[in-house]
Amino acid sequence: MRYIVLLTIILSVSCMGQADNPLGKPIENKAQHILIVYLSRTNNTRAVAQMIQKKTGGEMTAIELQDPYPENYQEIVAQVAEENETGFLPPLQTKINNLDHYDTVFIGFPTWGMQLPPPIKSFLTTNNLSGKTVIPFNTNAGYGLGSTIKTINKLCSDSKVLEAFSVEGGIERDGILFVMEGEKAEQVEEKLDDWLTKIDF
């Protein structure tokens, strides 16, 4: 009788496993195929990237330039405006050698001059995201996404681009820098939860 009971338990567990994984293939962790890439000057976008990492388990990488932008706000505004006008793409120090490993790429960025920052354009131009799911997330000074998503769609024409997440961050022009803490962080995290549910992620 003991053996019959034991055999029944083994068969039950085996059948449960087959129902969850009918082909009997190894089940991989979805988080292993998620990359979270972000550009952040005042760490607000970085804070949102960390929230996404906490919820998805993805691997997080900062986009860094070979020649960093100046610290002075007016100087960086002038330089970025010139880069946007001339179409110059600043070379990146950040290299991702195993990009083929990832199925989903979260792209985080601030809105600069109502446009996509040149370093993000560099990343999307020099890395092939064809066939991947691209998920934009953004912080801004209250002016919204501008033309950023239009540019992402153009540069990722062979990718599946999902609805973007956008939230107000600091206002560097007014000296309001890092704001993603305390009650503000809690509000952003709640909004982030709703967004991730909405895009079925």
The verdict on residue 134 lying in a domain is yes
DSSP 92: B
What's the pTM value of the predicted model, to 2 decimals?
0.84
The verdict on residue 141 lying in a domain is yes
Residue 175 gets the label, from left (phi > 0), alpha (psi -120 to 50) or beta, of left
Total count of domains within the chain: 1
Q: What is the CATH number of the domain that holds 125?
A: 3.40.50.360
Give the structural domain span for 164. 30-198
pLDDT in tens, 6-49: 333 333 333 333 334 444 444 456 667 999 999 999 999 999 99
Which pair of structure tokens corresponds to residue 73? 């706000």
Q: What three-state secondary structure class fits 77?
A: helix
Nearest to 65 by CA among 50, 51, 79, 85: 79
Mean pLDDT of the region 168-175: 93
